[in-house]
Amino acid sequence: MGGMSAAPLLAVEGLHAAAEQGEILRGVDLEIGRGELHAVMGPNGSGKSTLAGVVSGNPAYQVTAGRICFLGEDVTHWAPDARAKAGIFLAFQYPDAIPGVPLSQFLRQAVTARRGGEISVLEVRVRLREWLARLGMDPAFAERHLNEGFSGGEKKRNEILQMALLEPELAVLDETDSGLDIDGLRVVAEGVRQVRAARPELGLLVITHYRTLLEELSPDRVHVLVGGRVVESGGPELAERVELHGYEAFRP
């Protein structure tokens, strides 16, 4: 086992997971190396969001078999905050229960938790301003309150902002329900490109229903998830086949 450096960023091995309604993932294998962008596509109910949840440690799902290794360490049963601290990022949907918290304060808390507390207010402010400029966002955005009714596009931009500031090793972008228009998708894709340019080592797991986002992102690998299993993996051309033939063609 040639040391830690040889280990893939993420290795999902024979993963079975269940929620209240029963088994959802039925033996998923997936490996992501540093700097790679992997896309998981699948019809509704195939287990895409469950996979995102299980990798990031969402307690709504229970791993019943198999394991998840992150940088060579078994994190299958780690708590979500331990994973976040280790460098696994899942774009949060915000709890509506934080009235009156400006985005800048929320981000500062998140960065502090990730880094273990050695970050000044000034440093966060400077980096936040820098990233707002890079993402073409109004600096006033930082003072918006989290519960102020962000549009779909603003929510997605905010997720990219979090990803940029938190500097994870692995980011999981669960796009399934985003309902974004083409412009919104382009904003997300451009944001992802900017973050990858700044952090070439970042690994990404992008979960999507549509090929449009993948046309913008050009993934290294595409995995088709049907019925809780990866039924096929390949290059970006796999997304084209899905577009042409639908998921029926992949059902076992």
C-alpha angle 13-14-20 in degrees, rounded to nearest 5:
115
How many folded domains does the chain comprise?
1
pTM, two decimals, is 0.90
Measured CA to CA, the distance from residue 207 to residue 75 in angstroms comes to 20
Domain of 139: which CATH number? 3.40.50.300
- Enumerate long-range contacts of 108-112, CB under 8 Å, 24 or more apart: 110/162, 110/165, 110/166, 111/165, 111/166
Per residue of the chain (252 residues), what is the pLDDT tens digit? 444 557 999 999 999 999 999 999 999 999 999 999 999 999 988 999 899 999 999 999 999 999 999 999 999 999 998 999 999 998 755 445 466 888 888 888 888 888 877 778 888 889 999 999 988 888 998 888 876 777 777 778 888 898 999 999 999 998 755 667 777 788 888 899 999 999 999 999 999 877 888 888 889 999 999 999 999 999 999 999 998 999 988 877
Question: For residue 1, what is the DSSP state?
Answer: -
Q: Where are the alpha helices (DSSP H) in the chain?
A: 48-56, 80-86, 103-115, 121-134, 152-166, 182-198, 211-217, 237-245
Do 225 and 49 form a contact (C-beta atoms < 8 A)?
no
Domain residues for the domain of 61 are 4-250
